[in-house]
Amino acid sequence: MDFTIIAETNGDSLHPTTYQLIGAAASMGSNSTVICPNGVGASEAAKINGVEKVISATGDCFNIFDGGAWASAMSSMCGEMTLISASPNGREIGARIAAKKDIPIIQDVVSMSEGITVNRPIYSGKAMESLTISGSAVITLRPNAFEAASTGNDAPINVVDQSADVKIAIQEAINKASERLDVTEADIIISGGRGMGTIENFSHLEEIADTIGAAVGASRAVVDEWGMPHRMQVGQTGKTVTPSLYIAVGISGAIQHLAGMRSSKYILAINKDPDAPIFGVADYGIVATWEDAIPALKSSLSELQS
């Protein structure tokens, strides 16, 4: 089975998920051909172990993101099995390549084994699906679900100039100050309670939220007593939320607060009181003051991002 990988980029270099895609192919006992759209990251890709060759795909069609044009430019270079990151762009390119080649696409795969058998979450993670692919397909892989390949390679790079019809044009860039997500929309929420001391200290939580694209929430005490906006309140008289991760900082976990967040997939609680009720529902609990834990959390998460 030959594997083709469409590189995922981050600005001028490869996104870490590209290493994971290559690693995934390697775990199936296969080297891969890596296609770098617009040539971005080609020399970096050549150094990754498990890469047989790199195709640096260049052309005007890569100047802006038009999924149709990109797929058109790259699909002929894709072999039997194509792996792409399950990022928004990756999912789109993957779907178009699959439709073009009349082969199946399986999105957001979290594990892969001989067969080729893959597992993917469905119903927003309430269930898992196991599928076996017996032919050509496009698979998108969930970021951070696969081991990254190591470096030390020196693969050849071919430059291939491609052209395709671009049907999208950017009329106007709207650089708005990104509004922080609302608690009801976010996949990750970091919430603060009385334990944060003052409303000013919430700025630390906001920094973390900005780092990981989370929303900031608050307990009722903080809203009623410190004037935090009511729309941030999580709990019985606030919002009910179901994020993948709820980080509760300085929140004791009174029943009224739990009512709003106990259906979160994972709960991380940080509180200096080891007997705080929140630890009863937390998947991960850290007994520490926010002053100690939050800076550590911030640097740990920043490191993870890079």
Partner 1 sequence: MNITVLLKQVPDTTAKITISDGKVDENSVSKWSMSPYDEYALESGLQLKEKTGGNLIAITCGPERAKKMLTDAAAVGADTLVHISNDGVTDSTHVQKLLAAAVKKFDSQIVLCGKQAADTNGGSTGPGVAELIGAACVTLVSEVNYSEGNFSTIRPSNSGTEKVAVDGLSVFAFDKGTSELRRPNVRGIMMAKKKQVESITSGDLGVILNSSNVALNSQNPPPEKPAGQKFEGAEHVNEVVSKLRNEANVI
Partner 2 sequence: MRIMAYEALDFYDVDSLLTEEERMVRDMVRDWVDEEVIPNIEIACREGVFPDEWRVALGEMGVLGAPLKGYDCPGLSYTAYGVICRELERGDSGLRSFASVQGSLAMYPIWDFGSEEQKNHYLPKMASGEWIGCFGLTEPDYGSNPGDMITKAEDMGDHYLLNGAKMWITNGTIAELAVVWAKLDGVIRGFIVEKNDPGFSAPEMKGKHSLKASVTSELVFQDCKIPKDRILPGVKGLRGPFSCLNNARYGISWGALGSAQACFDSAKDYAMSRIQFNHPIASYQLVQNKLSWMLREITKGQLLAYHLGKKKDSGTWIPEHISLAKMNNVDIALEIARVARDIHGANGILDEYPIMRHMANLESVKTYEGTHDIHNLIIGRHITGIQAFTREA
The item of partner 2, partner 1, none sharing an interface with residue 236, based on CB under 5 to 8 Å by kind, is partner 2
Nearer to partner 2, 49 or 184 (CB): 184
Nearer to partner 2, 11 or 229 (CB): 229
Contact 248, 193 (CB under 8 A): yes
Task: Answer yes or no whether residue 259 interacts with partner 1 by CB under 8 A.
Answer: no
Nearer to partner 1, 122 or 159 (CB): 122
Instruction: Give me the DSSP letters along 268-287.
Output: EEEES-TT-GGGGT-SEEEE
Of 170, 159, 139, which is closest to residue 66 (Cα–Cα)? 170
**How far is Cα 136 from Cα 155, in angstroms, rounded to an integer?**
25
Question: Taking contact as CB under 8 A, which single stretch among the options 31-39, 53-61, 124-132, 196-204 is the one that binds partner 1?
Answer: 124-132
Nearer to partner 1, 232 or 267 (CB): 267
Task: Answer yes or no whether residue 156 interacts with partner 2 by CB under 8 A.
Answer: no
Q: How far is the CB of 224 from partner 1 (least distance, A)?
A: 28
Task: Give the binding-site size for partner 1 (rule: CB under 8 A).
Answer: 82
Task: Give the binding-site size for partner 2 (rule: CB under 8 A).
Answer: 14
Of 48, 96, 43, which is closest to residue 74 (Cα–Cα)? 96
**How far is Cα 192 from Cα 206, in angstroms, rounded to an integer?**
10
Q: How far is the CB of 123 from partner 1 (least distance, A)?
A: 5
Nearer to partner 2, 224 or 291 (CB): 224
| Sole binder of partner 2 in the list 236, 265, 286, 298 (CB under 8 A) | 236
DSSP 8-state class, residue 62? G
Task: Answer yes or no whether residue 145 interacts with partner 1 by CB under 8 A.
Answer: yes
Task: Answer yes or no whether residue 74 interacts with partner 1 by CB under 8 A.
Answer: no
Nearer to partner 2, 63 or 237 (CB): 237
| 28: Cβ contacts below 8 Å, ≥ 6 apart | 1, 3, 112, 113, 114, 116
| Sole binder of partner 2 in the list 53, 180, 194, 262 (CB under 8 A) | 262
Q: Look up residue 79 and give its amino acid.
A: G
| 127: Cβ contacts below 8 Å, ≥ 6 apart | 121
Give, for 261, the enclosing helix (H) or strand (E).
helix 255-261
Give, for 95, the enclosing helix (H) or strand (E).
helix 88-101
**How far is Cα 70 from Cα 53, in angstroms, rounded to an integer?**
20
Residues 183-222: x/- map of binding to partner 2 (CB under 8 A)? -xx----------------------------------x--
Phi, psi of 276 (to 5 degrees): -60, 135
DSSP 8-state class, residue 213? T
Task: Answer yes or no whether residue 265 interacts with partner 2 by CB under 8 A.
Answer: no
Nearer to partner 1, 156 or 295 (CB): 295
Question: Taking contact as CB under 8 A, which single stretch among the options 5-13, 50-58, 173-181, 233-241 is the one that binds partner 2?
Answer: 233-241
**How far is Cα 39 from Cα 46, in angstroms, rounded to an integer?**
12
**225 DSSP β-pair partners:** none
Question: Taking contact as CB under 8 A, which single stretch among the options 30-38, 45-53, 133-141, 200-208 is the one that binds partner 1?
Answer: 133-141
The item of partner 2, partner 1, none sharing an interface with residue 259, based on CB under 5 to 8 Å by kind, is partner 2
